[in-house]
Amino acid sequence: MNRAPQPTQPGAPEEAAATAPDDAGRRCFLHACMGGMSLVSAGTVAYPIVSFMRLPSTLAESQVLRIPLASLSEDQALYHDHMGQSLVVLYTNKTPKVFDAACTHLGCIVAWDGVQRTFRCPCHGAIFDDEGKPVSGPVSRPLVRVGFEIANNEIVVS
Ligand code: FES
């Protein structure tokens, strides 16, 4: 971007000819500023798009419920909220089970009674055994089982 020195106009101040190299420097500076602003603008537009495209994998991982097997003990139930659903993980007869904790009558959350080894619904008195089968009360359907797998010594519900 070197420009040949311009002949001085008759009557033009001598300083104008002397500042010609500074004009090239200013142009380079302005071009660099514009390039920088273009990069910032492109980043401002690209970042939300890239973040949005990465969102499903982030959500997918957050939708996985992991419960260490070591946290379970015999005849104990652990309740977890999982994607708006109340789940209960029960460990009886050395076997883990996962149920939807909603009573199959009208949806109240059942409570585990470790002494009686039954689920009891506080709303209308339904009772379910440790397999989720109805024992008494106004229910005919068992608690809904939730599928899971065991990996790396964890119960994984996805
Ligand atoms: S909601 Fe559970 S018995 Fe009615």
Residue-level pLDDT, tens digit, the chain, 158 residues: 455 555 555 555 555 555 566 788 888 888 888 888 888 888 788 877 776 666 555 556 678 999 999 999 999 999 999 999 999 999 999 999 999 999 999 999 999 999 999 999 999 999 999 999 999 999 999 999 999 999 999 999 98
Ligand 1: atom nearest CA of 126 is 3
Cα(136) to centroid of ligand 1, in Å? 11
102: closest CA among 66, 146, 149, 155?
146
Q: Which domain holds residue 136?
A: 65-157
> Is residue 54 domain-shared with residue 78, that is, in the same domain?
no
Q: How far is CA 130 from CA 9, 28, 35, 83, 126, in A?
A: 101, 77, 68, 24, 13
Tell me the C-alpha distance between 119 and 90, whole Å. Answer: 10
| Burial class of residue 85, CB neighbours in 10 A (0-12, 13-18, 19+) | middle
Structure token pair of residue 27: 């142009």
Structure token pair of residue 79: 């309740």
> Is residue 42 domain-shared with residue 75, that is, in the same domain?
no
78: closest CA among 67, 89, 86, 68?
89
> Is residue 73 domain-shared with residue 127, that is, in the same domain?
yes
Cα(149) to centroid of ligand 1, in Å? 29
> Is residue 44 domain-shared with residue 111, that is, in the same domain?
no
Tell me the C-alpha distance between 3 and 101, whole Å. Answer: 80
104: closest CA among 148, 137, 65?
137
Predicted confidence at residue 97, as pLDDT, reads 96
Predicted confidence at residue 56, as pLDDT, reads 57
Cα(91) to centroid of ligand 1, in Å? 23
> Is residue 103 domain-shared with residue 133, that is, in the same domain?
yes
Predicted confidence at residue 1, as pLDDT, reads 46
CATH number at residue 99: 2.102.10.10
Ligand 1: atom nearest CA of 138 is 3
Would 5 be classed as within a structural domain? no
> Is residue 56 domain-shared with residue 111, that is, in the same domain?
no
Would 11 be classed as within a structural domain? no
> Is residue 53 domain-shared with residue 70, that is, in the same domain?
no
Domain count for the chain, please give it: 2
Structure token pair of residue 18: 């002397």
